[in-house]
Amino acid sequence: MSQGEPTVSQEVVATLPDGRPVTRWTIGSPDGPTAEVLDLGARLQALHVPDRHGRLANVVLGCDDVEDLLGEAAYLGASVGRYANRIADGLLSLDGTEHPLTTRPNGHTLHGGADGFATRLWAGVPVRQGRRAGVRLRLDSADGDQGFPGALSAVATYLLDPDGELRIDYLATTDAPTVVNLTNHAYLNLAGEGHGTVLDHLLRVDAQGYLPVDARLIPLGPVADVTGTPFDLREAAVIGERVAAEDPQVRLAGGGFDHNWVLDGVGFRRVAELSHPASGRRVECRTTEPGLQVYTGNHFDGSLTGRSGRRYGRHAGVALETQHFPDSPNRPDYPSTVLRPGEEYRSTTVYRFSAE
């Protein structure tokens, strides 16, 4: 798959309702893998990778319409935070003080609140590291933003190399104790964006446990063994077969996965692999994070139109969100997400694309 060294270009592609421009950064080499990143939400808007015959296709779900990106499509490809995933009842207790957070109609905080990082304009600059090229984006979040304590500075860096390896680094610092959990919320479809469902994809996750949820999709608490359940993905399995299982946890998530797997190992390591036999495309995921939220697009209903001009129906993509566990601030038995002054939050995830 190796091509010439990737270059970076930028262009204004839209305007927000308040008149501010939206910039798209294009990273890639001629006839090779190419990524497109928007400063709106520090968002991976597209990623073009070849199949086994060398034919390029965009494998990331995304929209062009700004109204969609500020609304129904806000999470597609976005950097979500200040806290990715759910915090029960919108309450954060930290050092003996309760901080009420902004919530969704169900009463819980999701992906950082009603106006989280996914709908913000980040400030971007091009970067290069050896054979990799990309963009570094920065966002400053004030003390009290969405109810979270502490002024937070967040940095998201996307780097692409000629071989189809996409690296995403997150860095954050704070001036007062807070919680941080950042992730990228890209939906993948290795057949190509807008080309049917991911039910024919194979998924493997290196995890012996997962977190069952209640009807609100809040973790019940203890880690459950995946053995004998549809969540046992230690060997690659067809997604469609697993989400069709008569399992109460699958039903609670709307007929699919919307759960956190408790990943094996620590440090930067391989944690998952997604493949599409028909095209030969495959992506291996490596991360420093302890958890992987797998969401199979259970609630896409055809109301969103993608960049291909096709509507996104149920299971149009699968999100592999590397992160800390949902509701960790309320679960002292989960890995801590607390960040204090003088510390740095760092997270690295690499998606390595190939074809066979």
The residues annotated with a catalytic role in the active site are: 185, 321
Tokens standing for 192?
Answer: 């190509």
Q: Tell me how far the alpha carbon of residue 204 is from its chain's centroid.
A: 17
Taking the C-alpha atoms of residue 43 and residue 49, their distance in angstroms, rounded to an integer, is 18
> What is residue 226's DSSP assignment?
-
Tokens standing for 238?
Answer: 């067809």
> What is residue 153's DSSP assignment?
E
Taking the C-alpha atoms of residue 167 and residue 283, their distance in angstroms, rounded to an integer, is 12
The SS3 call for residue 88 is helix
Check whether the bond before 346 is cis (ω within 30° of 0): no
> Among candidates 282, 283, 319, 285, which has minimal Cα distance to 299?
319
> Among candidates 44, 45, 41, which has minimal Cα distance to 16?
41
Q: Which amino acid is at 174?
A: T
Backbone dihedral region for residue 115 (phi beyond 0: left; psi -120 to 50: alpha; all else: beta): beta
Backbone dihedral region for residue 101 (phi beyond 0: left; psi -120 to 50: alpha; all else: beta): beta
